[in-house]
Amino acid sequence: MGNKTKALSTSIVLGIAVFVAIILILGPKGIIETVAKMDIRYILLALLMQVGSVLSLYARWDVILRGTKKPFSSFQLLLISIAGNAINSITPASRVGGEPLRAFLLKKKFGIRYGVGMASIVIEKIIDILAFLIISAFAIVYSFVFLNAPMHIVFLLVISFLSSASLLISLYYVTFHKRIRSKTVVKFLDKHKWLGDKIPILRHYRNKMMDSLTNYYSHISLIGTQKGVWRYGLLLSLAYWSFEILRAYVLFKAFGVEVPLSVIATVIIISVIIGSLPLLLPGNLGFVEGTMIVIYSSSNINSIVAGIVTMIDRFFSYWLMLIVGLPVAWYLGFTSIDEKMK
């Protein structure tokens, strides 16, 4: 777990640096005066919104995984989901790093093959991107028509929408189009099977990979045809994004500031895109916070309030997931995927 430990240490150092930088830029005196007026009830409500986000992600995966017809424990699945979210937080491109861990822990705890686990996660990603596109479309229309938002904000939203739409189309096509499958991985392995004849160990891993691919594609098709998977999965994804937006909304309410939900949705959409870029920083610390504060401030929100809300929001969505999730990953027996998947 050396790489993960290094990433965690980097996250802590960067997190402290970002926290100190925001305080110095906004001014310690102004922050103290603003925090003194904070309504703690809304902070606790925001914490409940974070719990709702976590449970929505777990429930979505639960619905999808039931489509594989494999037995599993709901409580253990919740723990695996939390652990995966924690690992996502310390990878440079957030929201993807914990997926191999989740598939690995499914195999470790329930005997569900790695390819089957990844099949459930790919379906989950497709549904998540679809929900993200729905939220993005709403934010674009509302910002452009009702808010008279600056053109650079609308431009960023449109770019976010188009990039997500392209990813969704590509992922869906490669996942469900049989001709694409056969022309990529399977045919490539068949074409180069002579390597396995020359090197026996490669033949072993080739056969193992082919077996995993067969399970992966068969369960992709199985899950995709299960009644209710897409409908309930999409509803739970929309619930997740709603909790994310409402968490920031109630945080602003804690300081007596009323911010339109569309503005918060815009900030979240753009910050998610920034957080997903491979910038070689755990969780893209600094970039995400800076983006959120700048966009809030450009929407006529007091910069000190915007900074405090951003820090609290990131604590709930990022640091709290690390504080809870990493011990859970350790409890579940995660050490190294590379070692265990051999």
pLDDT digits (tens, 9 = 90+) for 50-100: 999 999 999 999 999 988 888 888 999 999 999 988 887 776 555 566 788
pLDDT digits (tens, 9 = 90+) for 126-180: 899 889 888 888 877 776 776 666 676 667 777 777 877 887 787 777 776 654 4
Distances (CA, A) of 62 to 67, 75, 119, 164: 9, 10, 13, 24
In this predicted structure, what is the pLDDT of residue 285?
Answer: 67
- The answer to whether 38 and 255 are in contact (CB under 8 A) is yes
In this predicted structure, what is the pLDDT of residue 235?
Answer: 95
In this predicted structure, what is the pLDDT of residue 234?
Answer: 94
User: Minimal CA–CA distance to 129: which of 271, 266, 272?
Assistant: 272
Can you tell me whether residue 70 is helix, strand or coil?
coil
pLDDT digits (tens, 9 = 90+) for 267-309: 888 777 776 665 555 556 667 778 788 888 877 888 899 999 9
First to last CA, the chain: 16
What pTM value is reported for the model? Answer: 0.80
- The answer to whether 233 and 123 are in contact (CB under 8 A) is yes
User: Minimal CA–CA distance to 73: which of 60, 86, 62?
Assistant: 62
Domain boundaries, given as residue ranges, for the chain: 2-340
In this predicted structure, what is the pLDDT of residue 52?
Answer: 96
pLDDT digits (tens, 9 = 90+) for 165-213: 887 787 777 776 654 454 455 555 555 555 455 544 445 445 555 566 6
Query: Where does the pLDDT of residue 233 fall: very low under 50, low under 70, confident under 90, or very high at 90 and above?
Result: very high
Report d(CA 87, CA 341) in Å as an integer: 17
Report d(CA 262, CA 138) in Å as an integer: 8
User: Minimal CA–CA distance to 231: which of 81, 51, 64?
Assistant: 64
Longest dimension (CA), the chain: 73
